A and B are shown apart, each in its own frame.
Chain A
Amino acid sequence: MIRGDRIFGAVMIVVALGYILSASSIQTSFMSDPVGPRIFPYMIAAVVILSSLVMVLRPDPDQDWPAGPMVAQLGLALAVLVGYAYAITPLGFILPTTIAAGVISWQIGGNPRRAAIAGLGLAVGLFVLFRVILGLGLKGLPAGMGF
């Protein structure tokens, strides 16, 4: 059962059609050129559709896709990273980094205590490196708590 390539190809065809639709509504201004802002996106979409069709019609053998628990693990990692992107501005660097680095460390190494130490160590270590040594503008603690 070869599915990976076919699904991705089909999705990309839909995306390309949407891209063409979106490109067709790009406004041109009075100071335009012979090509205009739409032709090149159309050309790109045509290449996407052509190569996606090849992927759908002549797919490569499928890779091993993660199943069950591994999907949950990857989903957790994704959720942690998305949450981190939202948390770093209001909560500062150290707290979200400890949690995010700790969770990822636990997912790779599988030992919760080691992972917690790694998370805290990375948070503090990287904060010292970036803020104190390299002087980047990071906030260490939640807003209003100094640092």
Chain B
Amino acid sequence: METLANLAMGFSIAITPFTLLLAIIGCFVGTIIGALPGLGPSNGVALLIPISFSMGLDAISALVLLTSVYYGAMYGGRISSILLNIPGDEPAMMTTLDGYPMAKQGKAAEALVVSGVASFVGALLATIGLMVFAPYLARVAYQFGPAEYFALYMLAFCTLGGMGSNNQAKAALAAAIGLGIAMIGLDKTTGMPRFTFGELHLMDGVDFLVAIVGLFAVAEVFHFIESHGKDSAIGVKLGKILVPWRMLKQTSGAMLRGTGIGFVAGVLPGAGASLGSFLAYMAEKSAAKDKATFGQGNPKGVAAPEAGNNAAAGGALVPMLTLGVPGSGTTAVLLALLLTLNITPGPLLFTERPEVVWSLIASLLIANVVLLLMNVPMIKVFVKILSVPAWVLLPGVTMVAFVGIYSLTGSSFDMLMMVGFGVLGYVMRKLDIPTVPVILGILLGNAMEDNLRRAMVLSNGDWTFLFSSPIAVGLWIAAVLGFLAPLFLRRLLKKPPLPTTDPTLNED
């Protein structure tokens, strides 16, 4: 009952003509961002944060706009997976396995409708799950002291590093680089400058938005120049859109199972949407009677991963809002958004600023309905936009990145730093070092150190205090397991190879 009353309050804030307009714009832009190869949800939200901030939107409007973009990008990723066999973003990778074969059999329209509805089911149920579980988790999080928070941050880094990458050492290195960058600036406790080398611009530390836009968007430009836009989109043809009711009914089980798996994967820190869609697909395949048709255009192979990745996107918001610990790259970017808006996620957010939480949830529900309407009847609009060539898109992205940072800070120094992060991102990508832990390190570094130092103040310098409560010990064990278990599991869970791209699609 309390949940419903809260939700009604959220809707009363979120439903104004202006926020509805923002939700529609956000969904539209988000779907485009998701659909365009090379621009994922993290990039998209990262690019738009500085811009929405410079536009002077208030906290709730900015949240509505950017969470709509976030959900929209999750919907949009499937479009290019199905039509071009190029995942629009990483979580949509599994959708290519059956989506593209369906498109080749002339069932592109059916695949798009099924995946659109699956996205809706996954995201809707996950948002309801968020409403139910988040307040509960927030109550547990009340008991967290500095030692528990420190262990929780370790858990986030360890699971992200363990599950999200192929090489533990590289993930640990990436996290440490991020933490090291977070140390730059004035030390909060003593007020002494650290690692500023007398540079005034560094006194406030490195702005995480500069790092995010550089690592995600600018690095992408270097990568595209090198690959000569090989993966660029080209003209796509699509027949009439009819709703295939029978196919929807047939795949409804796959959608629900995918949603459940995806939601759980999303709640776990570090797992995120890519793992959600992967597990949903593998589970659906191993449970199905017609295993052989998976990979050859089975609609269930489209429904399960799409429901899974959208449910994971909702699930990932649970730890982000209640604990302030993001579960994936994109939620890390959303955390950056909240921090930019001066909203500190955590258990207190639910009691002190319930209007933020519940209007966010209400706007997620609104965004979902808008997205269903956009992604099923209006899908052709997005297919047209997909044919924007890379030689217009990428320079555009670069310029938007610069404008965002420039209008936020107005300093050449920050733009140079952004380019520097772009180079770092390019090199790291070449070396197969994940960049998400860097972002997480920059975002969480100061809070992590702060909690460590507060714990030591409480215990008077006794380091065993970090392991003194059952919750903390549990978190440490989970952290170690999350970091080490993938070493052994990796052999069992080999990702299936992507079908090779049709060479005829690669001209220009």
Contacts and interface: CB of A to CB of B under 8 A. Distances in A.
A143 interface: no
B449 A85 contact: no
A85 B392 CA distance: 20
A26 interface: yes
A92 to B, nearest CB: 11
Contacts of B457: 33-34
B431 A34 contact: no
A104 B225 contact: yes
Contacts of B453: 33-35, 40
B394 interface: yes
Contacts of B189: 31-33, 37
Contacts of B302: none
A54 interface: yes
B499 interface: no
B177 interface: yes
Interface in A1-41: 4-5, 8, 12, 19, 22-23, 26-29, 31-37, 40-41
B136 interface: no
Given A19-B180, A60-B167, A74 B398 contact: no
Contacts of A105: 391-392, 394-395
A100 B192 contact: no
A37 B51 contact: no
Contacts of B45: none
B51 A74 contact: no
| Chief secondary structure at chain A's binding surface | helix
A140 interface: no
B398 A100 contact: yes
| Chief secondary structure at chain B's binding surface | helix
A97 B427 CA distance: 25
Contacts of A100: 395, 398-399
Contacts of B460: 34
Interface string A135-147: 1111000000000
Contact of B415 (A35, A37, A45, A85): A85
B286 interface: no
Nearest to A117: B392
A118 B187 CA distance: 46
Contact of B392 (A52, A97, A118): A118
Interface residues of B, number: 70
A55 B173 contact: yes
A55 B173 CA distance: 9
Interface string A104-123: 11111111001100110111
Contacts of A128: none
Contact of A44 (B51, B183, B415): B183
Contacts of B55: 134-136
Nearest to A73: B225
A126 interface: yes
B416 A108 contact: no
Interface in B141-171: 166-167, 169-170
Interface stretch (B216-224, B306-314, B339-347, B485-493): B216-224
B176 A51 contact: yes
Nearest to B432: A60
A106 B394 CA distance: 11
B390 interface: yes
Contact of A41 (B180, B222, B224, B461): B180
B229 A109 contact: yes
B452 A40 contact: yes
Interface string B391-414: 110111011101100110010100
Contact of A89 (B228, B412, B448): B412
Interface string B428-461: 0011110000000000000011001100110011
Interface in A38-86: 40-41, 44-45, 47-48, 50-52, 54-55, 58, 60, 63, 65-66, 70, 73-74, 77-78, 81-82, 84-86
A121 B78 CA distance: 29
A63 B427 CA distance: 11
B58 interface: no
Given A37-B192, A48-B180, A77 B222 contact: yes
A19 B457 CA distance: 25
B358 to A, nearest CB: 28
B419 interface: yes
A77 B419 CA distance: 10
Contacts of B221: 77, 104
Contacts of B170: 51, 55, 60
B497 interface: no
Q: Which of B54, B187, B192, B395 is the most central at the interface, judged by chain A CB atoms within 10 Å of its CB? A: B395
A74 B222 contact: yes
Contacts of B502: none
Contacts of B433: 8
A109 to B, nearest CB: 3
A134 B421 CA distance: 27
Interface of A: 4-5, 8, 12, 19, 22-23, 26-29, 31-37, 40-41, 44-45, 47-48, 50-52, 54-55, 58, 60, 63, 65-66, 70, 73-74, 77-78, 81-82, 84-86, 88-89, 93, 97, 100-102, 104-111, 114-115, 118-119, 121-123, 126, 130, 134-138
Interface of B: 51, 54-55, 166-167, 169-170, 172-173, 175-177, 179-180, 183, 187, 189-195, 197, 218, 221-222, 224-226, 228-229, 232, 389-392, 394-396, 398-400, 402-403, 406-407, 410, 412, 415-416, 418-419, 422-423, 426-427, 430-433, 448-449, 452-453, 456-457, 460-461, 508
Given A8-B433, A23-B194, A28-B190, 12 more contacts: A33-B453, A37-B189, A41-B194, A44-B179, A73-B225, A82-B416, A85-B419, A104-B395, A110-B391, A118-B391, A136-B54, A137-B407
The 9 A-B residue pairs with the shortest CB-CB distance in the complex, in nearest-first order: A109-B391, A34-B461, A85-B415, A54-B169, A101-B395, A51-B173, A47-B176, A51-B169, A37-B187
